[in-house]
A and B are shown apart, each in its own frame.
Chain A
Amino acid sequence: DTAVSQTPKYLVTQMGNDKSIKCEQNLGHDTMYWYKQDSKKFLKIMFSYNNKELIINETVPNRFSPKSPDKAHLNLHINSLELGDSAVYFCASSLTTRGTIYFGEGSWLTVV
């Protein structure tokens, strides 16, 4: 059983398009995250949600809009995609903001 699952795993799209990545966790965690991993494998937090409330927005362009319909889901919508948005996006969750963070398998986004 996948604990943190995200879809799609691979996404190739043209510049200017709008796309969404969905994430679900079945761990009963209160906190969910989006992290971005660049081509040099550097991982950086984008957003943190606790009990559906936005806690962290790490100076991410407002083209990126996370939405948490409930504690088990955190989706990421990206408007007007740019070449520089190409990266791997990881969803993650933790029991609380002080708990161990568990990652999903990633969504590989390529903007052409």
Chain B
Amino acid sequence: GESVGLHLPTLSVQEGDNSIINCAYSNSASDYFIWYKQESGKGPQFIIDIRSNMDKRQGQRVTVLLNKTVKHLSLQIAATQPGDSAVYFCAERPSYNQGGKLIFGQGTELSVKP
């Protein structure tokens, strides 16, 4: 079925280090990509998004990179903090846009060691 895959289900980093979470997507028709952070017991929280006409977008401590050639998306978190510990999801939206539908990956659990 449709899916957006992640290379690593878990990632453990030291506080202060940079984190990179990777995502492979399968639908070349997708033109919008988004990262969410989900803390335990909470809903997915928007982090950053990017459209297919861009390769890179930066936010506060986060950067999303999009490589359309190999259908790869990554989220970089600078100076990772304990509060960044959560499950991170990438998602894609096909350009044919079925009513705003997002297709989610399985999630990567980020653990930050103090």
Chain A residues close to B by CB (< 8 Å):
4, 31, 33, 40-45, 48, 50, 55-56, 58, 90, 94, 96-106
Chain B residues close to A by CB (< 8 Å):
32, 34, 36, 38, 41-46, 49, 87, 89, 91, 93, 97-102, 104, 106-107
Residues of A within 8 A of B42 (CB): 105-106
CA distance A4 to B46 in the complex (A): 13
CA distance A103 to B102 in the complex (A): 12
Residues of B within 8 A of A4 (CB): 43
- Asked if A101 meets B32 with Cβ closer than 8 Å, knowing A90-B43, A90-B44, A106-B42, the reply is no
> In chain B, what residue has the closest Cβ to A96?
B100
- Is A55 in contact with B45, judged by CB distance below 8 angstroms? no
Name the contact of A45 in the complex, choosing from B36, B89, B101 (C-beta under 8 A): B101
Known: A45-B102, A101-B46, A104-B43. 13 other contacts (CB 8 A): A33-B100, A41-B87, A43-B91, A48-B99, A50-B100, A55-B100, A58-B101, A97-B100, A98-B93, A98-B97, A100-B46, A101-B102, A106-B42
- Is B100 in contact with A41, judged by CB distance below 8 angstroms? no
Residues of B within 8 A of A101 (CB): 34, 46, 100, 102
Name the contact of B98 in the complex, choosing from A42, A56, A94, A104 (C-beta under 8 A): A56
Closest Cβ of chain B: how far from A57's Cβ, in Å? 9
Name the contact of B106 in the complex, choosing from A42, A102, A105 (C-beta under 8 A): A42
